Chain A
Amino acid sequence: MQITMSVNDTEYSAEVEPRLLLIHFIRDNLGLTGSHWGCDTSNCGACVVWLDETPVKSCTVFAAMADGHRVRTVEGLERGGELDPVQQGFTECHGLQCGFCTPAMMMTARWLLDNNPDPSAGEIREALSGQICRCTGYENIVRSIRWAAEHEAADRAGAPGEFGDSVQEAAG
Chain B
Amino acid sequence: MTAATKEHEPNGAYGPMRRKEDARFIRGCGTFVDDIQLPGMLHGAILRSPLAHARITSIDTLAAEGHPKVKAVITGQTLAELGLAWMPTMSQDVQAVLATDKVRFQGQEVAFVVAEDRYAARDALELIDVSYEPLPPVVDAHRALDPDAPLIRDDIAGQTDNRIFDWAAGDRARTDEIFAAADVTVAQDMLYPRVHPAPLETCGTIADMDKVSGKLTVWSTSQAPHAHRTLYALVTGLPEHKIRIISPDIGGGFGNKVGIYPGYICAIVGSILTGKPVKWMEDRSENLMSTSFARDYHMHGEIAATKEGKILGLRVKVLADHGAFNGAAQPTKFPAGFFGVFTGSYDLRTAHCEITGVYTNKAPGGVAYSCSFRVTEAVYLVERMVDVLARELGIDPAELRMKNLLRPAQFPYTSATGWEYDSGDYPRALRLAMDIAGYPELRREQAEQRARPGPQPGHPGTLMGIGMSFFTEAVGAGPRAHMDILGLGMADGADLRVHPTGKAVLAISVQTQGQGHETTFAQIVAQELGISPDDVEVVHGDTDRTPFGLGTYGSRSTPVSGAATAVVARKVRERARIVAAAMLEAAAEDLEWADGRWQVRGDPDKGKNIAEIAMAAHSGLELPDGVEGHLDATTVYNPPNLTYPFGAYICVVDVDPGTGRVRVRRFIAVDDCGVRINPMIVEGQVHGGLADGLGMALMQVIAFDPEGNCLGGSFMDYLLPTSMECPSWELGTTVTPSPHHPIGAKGVGESATVGSPAAVVNAVIDALAPYGVRHADMPLTPAAVWRAIQGRPLRSDLAIT
Is residue B35 contacting chain A, with contact meaning CB distance below 8 A? yes
CB–CB A139/B32 < 8 A: no
Minimum CB–CB distance from A96 to chain B (whole Å) comes to 6
**Residue numbers in B under 8 Å from A58 (CB-CB):** none
**Residue numbers in B under 8 Å from A102 (CB-CB):** 25-26
**Residue numbers in B under 8 Å from A167 (CB-CB):** 16-18, 680
CB–CB A172/B534 < 8 A: yes
Those of B14-29 within 8 Å (CB) of chain A: 14-19, 21-29
Complex CA gap A55/B501 in Å reads 48
Interface string of A52-88 (1 = CB under 8 A from B): 0000000000000000000001110110000100010
Most B CB within 10 A of own CB, among A31, A121, A132:
A132
CB–CB B249/A125 < 8 A: no
Is residue A51 contacting chain B, with contact meaning CB distance below 8 A? no
Known contacts A121-B728, A172-B526; A128 and B716 CB within 8 A of each other: no
Known contacts A87-B26, A91-B22, A94-B684; A100 and B251 CB within 8 A of each other: yes
Nearest A residue to B25 via CB reads A99
Is residue B265 contacting chain A, with contact meaning CB distance below 8 A? no
Minimum CB–CB distance from B197 to chain A (whole Å) comes to 8
**Residue numbers in A under 8 Å from B720 (CB-CB):** 132, 134
Among A96, A97, A128, A169, contact of B722 (Cβ-Cβ < 8 Å): A128
Among A20, A78, A97, contact of B27 (Cβ-Cβ < 8 Å): A78
Minimum CB–CB distance from A19 to chain B (whole Å) comes to 7
CB–CB A39/B715 < 8 A: yes
Is residue B157 contacting chain A, with contact meaning CB distance below 8 A? no
Minimum CB–CB distance from A59 to chain B (whole Å) comes to 10
Most A CB within 10 A of own CB, among B12, B22, B535:
B22
> Interface segment, A41-49, A111-119, A156-164?
A41-49
Those of B193-249 within 8 Å (CB) of chain A: 198-202, 249
Nearest A residue to B199 via CB reads A134
Interface string of A128-146 (1 = CB under 8 A from B): 1111111111111110000
Is residue B13 contacting chain A, with contact meaning CB distance below 8 A? yes
Nearest B residue to A138 via CB reads B723
Is residue A40 contacting chain B, with contact meaning CB distance below 8 A? yes
Number of A-B residue pairs having CB atoms within 8 Å of each other in the complex? 202
Nearest A residue to B13 via CB reads A170
CB–CB A98/B532 < 8 A: no
**Residue numbers in A under 8 Å from B285 (CB-CB):** 40
Is residue A5 contacting chain B, with contact meaning CB distance below 8 A? no
Among A41, A125, A126, contact of B715 (Cβ-Cβ < 8 Å): A41
**Residue numbers in A under 8 Å from B2 (CB-CB):** none
Is residue B254 contacting chain A, with contact meaning CB distance below 8 A? yes
Is residue A92 contacting chain B, with contact meaning CB distance below 8 A? yes
**Residue numbers in B under 8 Å from A1 (CB-CB):** none
Minimum CB–CB distance from B751 to chain A (whole Å) comes to 13
CB–CB B25/A132 < 8 A: no
Complex CA gap A78/B27 in Å reads 7
CB–CB B680/A17 < 8 A: no
Interface of A is mostly: loop
Complex CA gap A41/B29 in Å reads 25
Is residue A9 contacting chain B, with contact meaning CB distance below 8 A? no
Those of B701-718 within 8 Å (CB) of chain A: 714-716
CB–CB A41/B714 < 8 A: yes
**Residue numbers in B under 8 Å from A124 (CB-CB):** 723
CB–CB B513/A128 < 8 A: no
Complex CA gap A77/B25 in Å reads 12
CB–CB A38/B284 < 8 A: yes
**Residue numbers in B under 8 Å from A91 (CB-CB):** 18-19, 22-23, 26
Is residue A7 contacting chain B, with contact meaning CB distance below 8 A? no
Is residue B515 contacting chain A, with contact meaning CB distance below 8 A? yes
**Residue numbers in B under 8 Å from A87 (CB-CB):** 26-27
Is residue B283 contacting chain A, with contact meaning CB distance below 8 A? yes
CB–CB B18/A172 < 8 A: no
Nearest A residue to B720 via CB reads A132
Minimum CB–CB distance from B31 to chain A (whole Å) comes to 8
Those of B508-529 within 8 Å (CB) of chain A: 513-516, 523, 526
Known contacts A33-B28, A137-B687, A168-B16; A128 and B723 CB within 8 A of each other: yes
CB–CB A97/B515 < 8 A: yes
Minimum CB–CB distance from B776 to chain A (whole Å) comes to 24
CB–CB A137/B284 < 8 A: no
Minimum CB–CB distance from B771 to chain A (whole Å) comes to 30
CB–CB B684/A129 < 8 A: no
Complex CA gap A94/B692 in Å reads 18
Minimum CB–CB distance from B495 to chain A (whole Å) comes to 22
CB–CB A36/B16 < 8 A: no
Known contacts A27-B35, A134-B254, A139-B729; A96 and B691 CB within 8 A of each other: no
Complex CA gap A77/B534 in Å reads 26
CB–CB B681/A44 < 8 A: no
**Residue numbers in A under 8 Å from B535 (CB-CB):** 172
CB–CB A103/B533 < 8 A: no
CB–CB B35/A33 < 8 A: yes
**Residue numbers in B under 8 Å from A100 (CB-CB):** 30, 32, 199-201, 251-252
CB–CB B27/A74 < 8 A: yes
Among A92, A129, A139, contact of B18 (Cβ-Cβ < 8 Å): A92
CB–CB B200/A97 < 8 A: no
Minimum CB–CB distance from A131 to chain B (whole Å) comes to 7
Complex CA gap A37/B25 in Å reads 15
CB–CB B200/A44 < 8 A: yes
Known contacts A87-B27, A98-B252; A169 and B18 CB within 8 A of each other: yes
CB–CB B200/A46 < 8 A: yes
Nearest A residue to B716 via CB reads A41
Most B CB within 10 A of own CB, among A94, A142, A169, A171:
A94
CB–CB A172/B13 < 8 A: yes
Is residue A22 contacting chain B, with contact meaning CB distance below 8 A? no
CB–CB A138/B691 < 8 A: yes
CB–CB B11/A90 < 8 A: no
Most B CB within 10 A of own CB, among A75, A99, A169:
A99
**Residue numbers in A under 8 Å from B692 (CB-CB):** 134, 137
Contacts A31-B37, A38-B284, A137-B686 aside, 10 further interface pairs with beta carbons under 8 A come to A19-B119, A24-B118, A94-B681, A98-B252, A129-B722, A137-B689, A137-B692, A138-B687, A138-B722, A167-B18
For the complex of A and B, list the 4 residue pairs with the smallest distance between their C-beta atoms, beginning with the closest.
A34-B28, A172-B532, A98-B514, A99-B25
Q: Pick 13 A–B contacts, CB within 8 A, sort by A.
A: A24-B118, A33-B31, A36-B32, A39-B284, A75-B28, A87-B27, A91-B18, A91-B22, A92-B18, A98-B199, A99-B24, A125-B723, A172-B531
